[in-house]
Every structure is written in structure tokens, then in C-alpha cells.
A = this chain, B = another copy of it.
């Protein structure tokens, strides 16, 4: 992945993750995201629709744009893998990245989370 796209993902920019719903139509949601080696990673509660979608069809499309210059953006298509995250390490890591602090209280420990790891297969960068 080229440096300019890496900077979009490692910056404090919000991303959208699109998945395929049970009816074959698109679903999308806004997430915190980061890069770990060559993989994109976000954290999700196990119970979320997007997790169910990924279990059925792991193909995802991520968009991200620079908050300071939204005319610089990227679409990253790839395959997602759901990795158990019993200690919610990625939830903490992303909260620290975006908020500079641990995640807000209120999420029951019994609400399990996955680290969703995306292997990029196609990257389109746009600079309008």
C-alpha cells in the first residue's frame, strides 16, 4: 500500500466499511480503523450485523478520506477475517488513537468483540 493511503488509514480519519447483507444488498457503517502491518483493523461487537455479514461473505469495501482534506480519499477492497479479541485490545487501541483515552464505560464485559482484520486486494486512491 502506498504511503499516502497508509497515512489516510493511520490518521484520525473515520472510515466506512461496506459489507454484503443477507439479501445480497449492501450494508455500510462508520468505524474507527488503523493499520497493523499490511492489514486494516477495526473493532466490532460480535453481535453486529456487519459481523454476521462477514461470516457469510468476507468481502468488504472500505472508504476513507482525509478529515483535513476530504478530496483526498481511498477505496480499499479486501477480505475480512474475524479474530477473537477477548481482552478488547483493539477497542482500547482504537479509542486511544482517536480519543487519546480508554473506551467510554458502559459496554458490558460479556459483550464480546472481534478484531476485524482486512487484507487489501485492490486499492484506489483519489486526489480530486
By a beta-carbon cutoff of 8 Å, the part of chain A in contact with chain B is: 14, 16, 18-20, 24-30, 57, 59-63, 65, 67, 70, 73, 75, 77, 126
- Tell me the complex Cα distance, A19–B27, Å: 9
| B26 x A63 contact (CB < 8 A) | no
20 contacts between A and B (CB under 8 A): A14-B65, A16-B28, A18-B18, A18-B27, A18-B28, A18-B61, A20-B20, A25-B61, A25-B77, A26-B60, A27-B61, A27-B77, A28-B28, A28-B61, A28-B63, A29-B63, A29-B75, A30-B65, A30-B73, A67-B67
- A14 contacts which chain B residues (CB < 8 A)? 65, 70, 73
- A65 contacts which chain B residues (CB < 8 A)? 14, 30
- Tell me the complex Cα distance, A25–B26, Å: 9
- A62 contacts which chain B residues (CB < 8 A)? 28
- A59 contacts which chain B residues (CB < 8 A)? 25-26
